[in-house]
Amino acid sequence: MLPCDLIRNSFSAYQANRCSLETKKIIDEHLEKCEECREAYQAWVVSSQKKEEQNYRDLMNLSQKLKTDRRKKIMKWTAICLAIISVLVFIILMISGVQIRRG
Ligand SMILES: [Zn+2]
């Protein structure tokens, strides 16, 4: 029987089916016989699922944040454009007002 350390280090590959059939068989047999590793594996599965859920949540938060940032940026630039346009309109009105008064 392989040492427990080796088995526990292979959980990730074992769960993702990234190990050879032979390795999988060895781990299966070990888990069948070794209660400690079986418990360790179940705990590992639970914690890896939690980690995955957390990663997913983080990803969703990030995309939400990016969306909000993009919206903020668009609003900022819209405000800047509107400000520039109103300044231009004001200048044009001033110039044309001066010209009307002169003419
Ligand atoms: Zn073991």
Kindly report, residue by residue over 17-70, the tens digit of the pLDDT. Answer: 888 999 999 999 999 999 999 999 999 999 999 999 999 999 999 999 999 999
pLDDT band of residue 103 (cuts 50, 70, 90) is: low
**Residue ranges making up the domain that contains 18:** 4-102
Residue 59 Cα to ligand 1 middle (Å): 35
Mean pLDDT over residues 72-88, rounded? 97
Residue 5 Cα to ligand 1 middle (Å): 7
Residue 7 Cα to ligand 1 middle (Å): 7
* Model confidence at 77: pLDDT above 70: yes
Residue 22 Cα to ligand 1 middle (Å): 17
Per the structure, how many domains does the chain have?
Answer: 1
Answer for the pair 34, 17: CB distance below 8 angstroms, yes or no: no
* Model confidence at 99: pLDDT above 90: no
Residue 52 Cα to ligand 1 middle (Å): 25
